[in-house]
Structure 1
Amino acid sequence: MRVEQIAVFLENKSGRLAEITSILAEKNINIRALSVADTADFGILRLIVDKVEEAKQALKENGFTVGKTNVIAVEVPDQAGGLASVLKAVEKAGLNVEYMYAFVNKSGENAVLIFRFDDMDKAIEILQAAGFTILTGEQVCAL
């Protein structure tokens, strides 16, 4: 029920993001979701891609520092309150959201929320018990 995500550390300078996306494009790796967090000197690009190991290898070969972590993908209706309903469920359980980002399916009916929690196993248990759909990596990449 976890989704593999790669995290790329990059200098906060012009062209670095374009370089990464070009490397992935050349390898025919599809980006399904992404988030960029930055400071004055560096950034962290978090990506969900269809070919995790190939992406990781290609980026490393081009001098990037790449890590791999697990996140949870939660599907919710694409309407007001979708995110709030997930956050309410995890707040009741005392879980902390380390970070999150989201994307909308092509159909526009559902949104997918990507979460990293302080206790991933407990988060999966709580969200499933609350009736939320947790997607696999394959399901996220098929959207």
Structure 2
Amino acid sequence: MQIQQLSVFIENKPGRLAEITEVLAEAGIDIRAISVADTSDFGILRVIVDKPKEAVAALKQHGMTVSLTNVIAVGIDDEPGAFSKAVRLLADEGFDMEYMYAFISRDKGKAFVIIRMNNGQKAAEVLKERGFDILSPETLYNM
């Protein structure tokens, strides 16, 4: 199952991240995971929220450049080598990862990794077949 992630183009200037998060807060959007990749002039804010379509509408209404991207969310046991097993499986199956970032949940003993890759749906199926926990959109958005 794939999750919808917001990708927001942001200028690298003081207060810009605050503006974006304030728009989300005013729209009643709850952030589940967040990552920023930046250069000296701009960045890409990647955000998983509980209501992705509403978040896109709110951000666009405020003149922000935003798009939805499909990613997968993989549950990883909190023990040495667990993440390595998932990454090795994906590599051995020929999946090409573009980027990833992680977050922890309220569930003890679990961390979750957001992964963007070629053919994410197939990657999720392969991981699930090998015993990895793949979060559904509903599960993640309601965490």
Confirm or deny a common fold (TM above 0.5): yes
Q: Which residue of 2 aligns with 1:85?
A: 85
CA contact (8 A) 1:5 1:71 kept: yes
Secondary structure of 1:86's counterpart equals helix
Q: Which residue of 2 aligns with 1:49?
A: 49
CA contact (8 A) 1:5 1:46 kept: yes
Q: Quick one: which amino acid aligns to residue 97 of structure 1?
A: M
Query: Separation in 1 of the partners of 2:54 and 2:104?
Result: 25
Stretches of structure 2 that go unaligned for 5 or more consecutive residues are: none
Matched, 1:123 2:95: no
CA contact (8 A) 2:2 2:121 kept: no
CA contact (8 A) 1:20 1:59 kept: yes
Q: Which residue of 1 aligns with 2:98?
A: 98
Stretches of structure 1 that go unaligned for 5 or more consecutive residues are: none
Q: Quick one: which amino acid aligns to residue 12 of structure 2?
A: N
CA contact (8 A) 2:6 2:66 kept: yes
Secondary structure of 1:113's counterpart equals strand
Query: Separation in 2 of the partners of 1:102 and 1:79?
Result: 15
Report percent identity of matched pairs.
Answer: 50
Matched, 1:3 2:11: no
Secondary structure of 1:95's counterpart equals coil
- Name the count of aligned residue pairs: 143
Secondary structure of 2:34's counterpart equals strand
Secondary structure of 2:29's counterpart equals coil
Query: Separation in 1 of the partners of 2:33 and 2:45?
Result: 11
RMSD: 1.1
Q: Which residue of 1 aligns with 2:23?
A: 23
Q: Which residue of 2 aligns with 1:133?
A: 133
CA contact (8 A) 1:2 1:72 kept: yes
- Report how far residue 68 of structure 1 moved: 0.4
Query: Separation in 2 of the partners of 1:50 and 1:100?
Result: 19
Deviation per residue, 1:46-96 (Å, 9 max, x gap): 111011111101101111100001100111112222221110110111111
Deviation per residue, 1:20-66 (Å, 9 max, x gap): 00111111100000110001111000111011111101101111100
Q: Quick one: which amino acid aligns to residue 24 of structure 1?
A: L
CA contact (8 A) 1:78 1:104 kept: no
